[in-house]
């Protein structure tokens, strides 16, 4: 398993945000995580990526390493990259430098400088920049490389966040509502790019997504959270037909017409 949690728990005061979640993700899979607002999806990401410490008794393993209480930079260095639900970009930094910052999260610059000297560093920076430009072209942002991140449109910012997360060369990429706020055409475009990046970089993916159609179309397996607990897991079709899921996710049972609408975007 690339990622595994056992008995994962996190309480905020009396609220069990994540409640005894066992989770297993093999390499190469595209996993969807769905669930109502406040069901614990982002908290799950925050625990796995080391942003929050889990409660005692929890266990998290990534690529054979026990990462239960490791800090984010260590987990990142092992090959786990994630995006945040609320976009976190360096607004006053250029697009290309935002992407480079993703790369440097992984590679410790000072270390290289000490070992191989300044001239080589410079050459290497150029090489990295070329590589990062290629990544920007891939997501369609090459023409905007020198603009400030704050000058991009909402959709372009989503692409930049994605490019920066991939600049780390992760094994596992976790996306928290990557398509939030995009129009249907842009959602399709973004998902297409995500799938291409998956193939190009050999990524394993976990996608938290409210847009059911995206989950149904792209994920191999879907995990459903409700009140911090895993209430279902299966193929999109299995999960779609699960009454507990429909009730939890949408607050009520839907008739066929309502279901059709929910799935059509």
Ligand X SMILES: Nc1ncnc2c1ncn2[C@@H]1O[C@H](COP(=O)(O)OP(=O)(O)OP(=O)(O)O)[C@@H](O)[C@H]1O
Catalog residues that contact ligand X under the rule CB under 6 A.
12, 15, 17, 35, 37-43, 85
Of 15 and 114, CB closest to ligand X: 15
**What single-letter DSSP state applies at residue 84?**
-
Per partner kind, with CB cut-offs from 5 to 8 A, the member of Mg ion, ligand X, none near residue 15 is ligand X
Tell the smallest beta-carbon distance from residue 16 to Mg ion (Å).
16
CB 256 within 8 A of CB 49: no
Whole-angstrom distance, CA of residue 222 vs CA of residue 238? 9
Helix axes 95-106 and 118-138, enclosed angle (nearest 10): 120
**Interface with Mg ion by CB under 5 A: which residues?**
41-42, 85
Tell the smallest beta-carbon distance from residue 80 to ligand X (Å).
18
Whole-angstrom distance, CA of residue 196 vs CA of residue 177? 18
Tell the smallest beta-carbon distance from residue 252 to ligand X (Å).
18
Of 43 and 81, CB closest to ligand X: 43
Nearest-10 Cα torsion for 155, 157, 163, 167? -170
Helix axes 95-106 and 154-167, enclosed angle (nearest 10): 30
Tell the smallest beta-carbon distance from residue 157 to ligand X (Å).
18
Of 135 and 209, CB closest to ligand X: 209
Of 85 and 124, CB closest to Mg ion: 85
Of 43 and 98, CB closest to ligand X: 43
Per partner kind, with CB cut-offs from 5 to 8 A, the member of ligand X, Mg ion, none near residue 17 is ligand X
Tell the smallest beta-carbon distance from residue 255 to Mg ion (Å).
28
- DSSP letter string, 6-45: EEEEEEETTEEEEEEEEEEE-TT-EEEEE-STTSSHHHHH
Per partner kind, with CB cut-offs from 5 to 8 A, the member of ligand X, Mg ion, none near residue 35 is ligand X
Q: At CA 263, angle to CA 40 and CA 156, rounded to 5?
A: 70
Tell the smallest beta-carbon distance from residue 147 to ligand X (Å).
29
Of 51 and 259, CB closest to ligand X: 51
- What lies within 8 Å, CB to CB, of 22 at 6+ separation is 5, 6, 7, 8, 230
Tell the smallest beta-carbon distance from residue 248 to ligand X (Å).
12
Of 41 and 82, CB closest to ligand X: 41
- CB nearest Mg ion: which residue? 42
Per partner kind, with CB cut-offs from 5 to 8 A, the member of ligand X, Mg ion, none near residue 102 is none
Per partner kind, with CB cut-offs from 5 to 8 A, the member of ligand X, Mg ion, none near residue 234 is none
Among candidate residues 130, 149, 150, 146, the one with its CA nearest the CA of residue 138: 130
């Amino acid at each position: 398993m690339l990622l595994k949690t056992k008995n994962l728990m996190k309480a905020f005061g009396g609220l069990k945000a994540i409640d005894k979640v066992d989770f297993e993700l093999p390499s190469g899979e595209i996993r969807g995580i769905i669930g109502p607002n406040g069901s614990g999806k982002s908290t799950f990401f925050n625990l796995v990526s080391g942003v929050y410490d889990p409660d005692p008794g929890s266990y998290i393993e990534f690529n054979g390493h026990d990462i239960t209480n490791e800090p984010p930079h260590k987990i990142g260095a092992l090959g786990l990259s994630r995006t945040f639900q609320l976009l976190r970009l360096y607004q006053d930094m250029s697009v290309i430098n935002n992407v480079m910052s993703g790369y440097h999260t992984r590679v410790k610059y000072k270390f290289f400088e000490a070992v191989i000297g300044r001239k080589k560093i410079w050459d290497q920076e150029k090489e990295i920049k070329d590589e990062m430009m290629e990544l920007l072209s891939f997501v369609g942002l090459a023409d905007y490389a020198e603009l400030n991140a704050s000058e991009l449109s909402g959709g372009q910012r989503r692409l930049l966040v994605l490019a920066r997360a991939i600049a780390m060369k992760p094994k596992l990429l976790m996306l928290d509502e990557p398509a939030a706020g995009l129009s249907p055409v842009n959602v399709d475009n973004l998902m297409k790019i995500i799938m291409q990046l998956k193939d190009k970089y050999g990524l394993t993916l976990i996608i938290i997504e409210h847009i059911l159609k995206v989950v149904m179309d792209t994920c191999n397996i879907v995990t459903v959270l409700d009140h911090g607990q895993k209430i279902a897991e299966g193929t999109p079709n299995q999960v779609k037909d699960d009454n507990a899921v429909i009730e939890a996710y949408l607050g009520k049972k839907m008739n066929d017409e309502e279901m059709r609408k929910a799935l059509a975007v």
